Amino acid sequence: MVQKHALGRGLSALIDAEPISTSGSSSINEIEIHKIHPNPHQPRTHFDEEALAELAASIKEIGIIQPITLRKIDEDNYEIIAGERRYRASKRVGLTTIPAYIKTADDDLVVEMALIENLQREDLNAIEIALTFQRLQEEYKMTQERLSERVGKKRATVANYLRLLRLPAEIQMAIKDKQIDMGHARAIITIDDPARQLGIYEQIIKNHLSVRKVEELVRNIDEVRDNETKNQHPIPKEHVQIEKQLKEHFGVPVKFICNDKGKGKITLSFRSDEELEKLMELFDKLH
SS3 244: helix
DSSP code of residue 255? E
* Gyration radius (Cα) of the chain, Å: 24
Cβ-count burial 242-271 (b if 16+ within 10 Å, e if not): eeeebeeebebebbbbbeeeeebeeebebe
- End-to-end, the C-alpha distance of the chain in Å comes to 53
SS3 212: helix
Phi, psi at residue 2, to the nearest 5°?
-115, 125
The closest alpha carbon to 242, from 281, 250, 280, belongs to: 250
In this structure, the number of other CB atoms found within 10 A of the CB of residue 122 comes to: 4
DSSP code of residue 23? B
Q: Which of 32, 49, 84, 281 is catalytic?
A: 84
DSSP code of residue 234? P
In this structure, the number of other CB atoms found within 10 A of the CB of residue 212 comes to: 9
**Does 274 participate in catalysis according to the annotation?**
no
Alpha-carbon separation of residue 211 from 181, 194, 214, 276 (angstroms): 9, 19, 5, 20
Distance from C-alpha of 170 to C-alpha of 159, rounded to nearest angstrom = 21
Residues with active-site annotation: 84
